[in-house]
Amino acid sequence: MKKIVTKQQKTTIGKVLRYIKKYWMYLGLSIFLAAVTVALTLYIPILTGRAVDLIVAKGLVDFAGILTILKRMAVVILLTAAAQWVMNACNNKITYNVVRDIRKEAFDKIEHLPLSYIDSHSYGEVVSRVIADVDQFADGLLMGFTQFFTGVVTIFGTLIFMLTINVKITVAVVLITPLSLFVASFIAKKTFSMFKLQSETRGEQTGFIEEIIGNQKVVQALSHEKEALEKFDEINGRLQKYSLRAIFFSSITNPATRFINSLVYAVVGIVGAFLAIAGGITVGQLSSLLSYANQYTKPFNEISGVVTELQNALACAARVFELMEEQPETPDDSDAAVLSHAEGKVELSHVNFSYTPEQKLIEDFNLSVKPGQRVAIVGPTGCGKTTLINLLMRFYDVNSGTISVDGIPVRKMTRESLRNNYGMVLQETWLRSGTIRDNITMGKPDATEEEIIAAAKASHAHSFIKRLPEGYDTVIAEDGGNLSQGQKQLLCIARVMLCLPPMLILDEATSSIDTRTEIRIQKAFAKMMQGRTSFIVAHRLSTIQEADIILVMKDGSIVEQGNHETLLAQDGFYATLYNSQFAK
């Protein structure tokens, strides 16, 4: 286990260093200033020792010499403060630039991850990696830069200064040092696994909170509060357990190293006192050595604290890098075709697809759609209707078989150009935080005011928009939280009507709209669909009676195909579905 943890830590550190390498100038300046700060700091005990030696006895004090030393100490302290300020500024620059780069790359990676990853992971857990884990990583990295370099340089610098005063005492200090390092190393190995569990559980907790808060109406409507609270308590309990263990191991690091360091100070005091009595060193030199012993041991306490924070930081960084190293969506071929303005001929040939290998969904699916045809897709829940839409839009790639548009396989054209030729209105609406105008023009940012109003009128959204406080400039909350579900759906319809692409996908597009408005929108849809290949997914069969082709799906296959009258005459599965809705 220890070997695995060590290897994982080394791998993570290597990845972090690749990001830091871009800011090598700041890093070099920080290390240089750390050395300057330590050198100046360690020069002060020498000045202090000289000042002590100028106080020989009562009435034998060299005040002029002491004043000169005090002036020199004041200059050294001012230079040390300036060097520390610039060093901290460099460390902040490195840390927050690295954090910015990692967050930017992580968000860019999310944008290019396959939809299967997003579907199979909690949104809150993904958000936790990009926000909370990167914050924890930043705290540890900043502490590392601020204290680690100065700590290491202080240790070596102190030994050099101590050697110039007395070799025997310095050797005694060095012999005790490995004991402090052993204690810190032993505890550090224990903390990494605990911090990793803490970070993973924190992500699980964030995902659960996001899920419950986002669906609070459903939770309350079904009186699920008690169960949700019990689940939260269980996750929170695990987080408490892992956090306490991590904090316990990390908190004993400092006291343990302080105990060892106190031994060092005692050794210097005792040995130095005997040497001073024997005349081997002066009292001033002894005071300098005691000051150096204290400064020598102090970095071990700081570095042990840094190591603890780095354990947490590396555990969080590992989770972020795990996200960033997920396999991205298969890139478009270098010679992929660009579909400029599709005619609308769509063909599916021997298509097979399933989300998981063990659960078959669509098998040997064949379909040929001519330009301008309206294709309705009906069938029971789970038969593959929405999956077919995902395949047409290439949100998922088929396992085998071919989907082509205008004779070109979709795998051989760019995703962007394919999706630009489709207009989608889904049952699940999506609106972003911004104005009504921003949400309508999402697919056509350069649209004129007249075009926006025309699209809103065609979708019957104009009337309710005008009643809003600021009209088209009204700011709506994330996902349109201050609008009704029907109003949100009307805005999504207006968004598509503004772009008017050559192919349309309507997946229960009017499910949240009242019957009167639905009749009007169906007329607008009929006008919009003229000359455009359209795929209509519907549960209410009254909305697709005018379709050119009705595909009746069951268990991932087309069981019936034809227009409304033909299918009713066959008295098959479609007729059963239709009669279940309209039977007297």
The answer on pLDDT for 40 being more than 60 is yes
What is the model's pLDDT at position 82? Answer: 92
The answer on pLDDT for 78 being more than 90 is yes
The answer on pLDDT for 1 being more than 50 is no
Same domain for 237 and 276, yes or no, is yes
d(CA 550, CA 565) in angstroms, rounded, equals: 10
pLDDT (tens digit, 9 = 90+) per residue, 173-185?
777 777 766 776 6
Range of the domain at 153: 99-324
Distance of CA 134 to the CA centre of its chain: 8
The answer on pLDDT for 479 being more than 70 is no
| Beta-ladder partners of 182 | none
Same domain for 296 and 339, yes or no, is no
Residue 4 confidence class, pLDDT cut points 50, 70, 90: very low
| 528 within 8 A of 499, measured Cβ to Cβ | no
| Any domain includes 76 | no
Same domain for 270 and 375, yes or no, is no
pLDDT (tens digit, 9 = 90+) per residue, 458-469?
888 888 889 888
The answer on pLDDT for 156 being more than 90 is no
- C-alpha distances (whole Å) from 486 to each of 262, 490, 512, 513 are 72, 6, 5, 5
Structure tokens at 38: 């330590």
What is the model's pLDDT at position 512? Answer: 61
Higher pLDDT residue, 393 or 484? 393
Structure tokens at 272: 């130095």
What's the number of domains the chain is made of?
Answer: 2
Same domain for 354 and 215, yes or no, is no
| Any domain includes 516 | no
| Any domain includes 32 | no
Indicate the average pLDDT of the chain: 80
Same domain for 259 and 168, yes or no, is yes
pLDDT (tens digit, 9 = 90+) per residue, 229-257?
898 999 989 888 888 888 787 777 667 77
Q: What is the mean pLDDT of residues 37-57?
A: 76
| Any domain includes 570 | yes
d(CA 584, CA 580) in angstroms, rounded, equals: 9
Structure tokens at 51: 């000042």
Q: What is the CATH number of the domain that holds 139?
A: 1.20.1560.10
Domain-terminating residue out of 324, 353, 373? 324
What is the model's pLDDT at position 2? Answer: 41
pLDDT (tens digit, 9 = 90+) per residue, 511-554?
666 777 677 677 777 777 888 888 888 777 767 777 888 888 88
Domain-terminating residue out of 294, 324, 354? 324
pLDDT (tens digit, 9 = 90+) per residue, 301-320?
666 667 667 777 777 888 88
Domain-terminating residue out of 324, 348, 376? 324
SS (H, E, C) 17-41: HHHHHHHHHHHHHHHHHHHHHHHHH
The answer on pLDDT for 5 being more than 50 is no
Residue 324 confidence class, pLDDT cut points 50, 70, 90: confident
Give the type of residue at 215: N
Q: What is the CATH number of the domain that holds 539?
A: 3.40.50.300
| Any domain includes 459 | no
pLDDT (tens digit, 9 = 90+) per residue, 442-451?
888 888 899 9
| Any domain includes 37 | no
> Under 8 Å CB-to-CB from 218, ≥6 apart: which residues?
224
The answer on pLDDT for 3 being more than 50 is no
Same domain for 308 and 340, yes or no, is no
Same domain for 381 and 272, yes or no, is no
